[in-house]
Structure 1
């Protein structure tokens, strides 16, 4: 039987390790077992899954993921936390501890060969300052990742799941759409964290549905970055530097079937694909 961590256990572990949660690493530890159970349930993971967890911290969610039989690969950049996590699993989930692998590394530098198995799902309370770069890096590096459920700042969740035409639609929205479908699924109360953050949090689910395309990812993403670098400008103006001139940008857009007066937030990922194709 897995024993989840509550407020007293979280504070006890932090005191034992002399850990003071830092803003730099985006550390806010979940101390509510019911929230952990809800995350695991919404993630829909089980014994057939190899779950990648980024930023496990003191192990709240890790223990929750071990409970339904998952194999868990936890990536933790803080060496003190990484060293303690296997012992926490052994103490509180002895029958499941052998299914946990802890890797002390920066998730932004993880390569497929660093992992003991191909992960099928990403489930994580992500450090808010690097949430989008981490998700995009892992989707690019690990094609075996088919789905995800991540906890992020609410504003980031909204941007990740935004659709064309929305005021908050931007680079994260388009780049995630290249890999599949993102959806904001639930809000998470501030009170379930220690320390209590000064921002709201939400859960975002993701299902991979890779865009079939003759354009490579780096080429497409360069167009997306350029299109949103100057949000208030038309695409003809915003893409001028990328294309070499505003005139050339206009020609490419016309060839792609896109009105040069359009702005980036009006286009879906397929339209950006057409622009990249027209430039090649």
Structure 2
């Protein structure tokens, strides 16, 4: 039976008395072509290990197991464990972990399950928790090479956005500091059961070996970024001087000038390089004053 078949899903639900959880945002794929395109877009080979977050009933897991070396699937819903035990029983290269990925030590799992070899992460996540999971993997420096994840269309637009675009913001800068972000494919609501209320997009995050900019302080860099976007309609002169960074308006104007940034520009026009230069200059100034 095809796991993407609605009749198969209904059969499984009846057999295991399973009900879709709104709390967990469960939506299962019911289109083979979409599954194939996501897997193809991930570039998985038989040399690759995979961490799958949110396998559901194993729709993508099943097809990935035919290709990948080993898969560790992390599923938070323990009522799906017996389902996965049946749908994936023919494969010996799959391990299921029942747990909340936000509470798990991903690098410990990678070391224990893959001998330290960096895997790819593939996920079809509930939209309410997509960003926290992506940022956990990035900020905790999870030892992974790629993250291929399906997200809400608007979130995807923000993640891959470039300066001067309406969708460009803190999330754009944060993700692109850690990874090269690109769009794999758009996914319509009609390929899910039950249908979500929003459209979806699959994105590919290629983890950078080194950050794209050199920073004196990464935490301070992100403080500057958040300050710049705190009031999108205001100029950098106003947002930076009002961002609790330890500088007044006159000092801000001088530091912007020293960074070759016009004080009437807005945060959404700055590239990561410009944010890095500005944050480094402010950081040096603030620390020189304190010392």
Q: TM (normalized to structure 2)?
A: 0.85
**1:251 offset after TM fit, Å?**
4.0
Secondary structure of 1:148 counterpart = strand
Alignment-derived partner of residue 150 in structure 1: 149
Contact kept, 8 Å, 2:2 with 2:8, in 1: the verdict is: no
Alignment-derived partner of residue 170 in structure 1: 169
**1:166 offset after TM fit, Å?**
0.4
Contact kept, 8 Å, 1:77 with 1:106, in 2: the verdict is: yes
Contact kept, 8 Å, 1:227 with 1:235, in 2: the verdict is: yes
Matches of 1:83 and 1:252, distance apart in 2: 60
Establish whether residue 211 from structure 1 lines up as the match of residue 214 from structure 2.
no
Alignment-derived partner of residue 102 in structure 2: 108
Summarize the Cα distance change of 1:241–1:8 in structure 2 as closer, same or farther, 3 Å threshold. same
Contact kept, 8 Å, 1:107 with 1:134, in 2: the verdict is: yes
Stretch deviating more after TM superposition (62-71 or 244-253): 244-253
Alignment-derived partner of residue 222 in structure 2: 221
Contact kept, 8 Å, 2:127 with 2:151, in 1: the verdict is: yes
Alignment-derived partner of residue 256 in structure 1: 259
Stretch deviating more after TM superposition (208-217 or 58-67): 208-217
**1:223 offset after TM fit, Å?**
2.1
Summarize the Cα distance change of 1:261–1:113 in structure 2 as closer, same or farther, 3 Å threshold. same
What count of residue pairs does the alignment treat as equivalent? 274
Summarize the Cα distance change of 1:261–1:61 in structure 2 as closer, same or farther, 3 Å threshold. same
**1:142 offset after TM fit, Å?**
4.1
Summarize the Cα distance change of 1:8–1:164 in structure 2 as closer, same or farther, 3 Å threshold. same
Q: TM (normalized to structure 1)?
A: 0.88
Alignment-derived partner of residue 51 in structure 2: 52
Matches of 1:250 and 1:21, distance apart in 2: 54
**1:261 offset after TM fit, Å?**
2.0
**Any gaps of 5 or more consecutive residues in structure 2?**
284-291
Greater gyration radius: 2
User: RMSD of aligned C-alpha atoms?
Assistant: 2.2
**1:189 offset after TM fit, Å?**
2.1
Matches of 1:195 and 1:108, distance apart in 2: 25
Secondary structure of 1:8 counterpart = helix
Matches of 2:135 and 2:20, distance apart in 1: 25
Matches of 2:199 and 2:10, distance apart in 1: 22
**1:77 offset after TM fit, Å?**
1.6
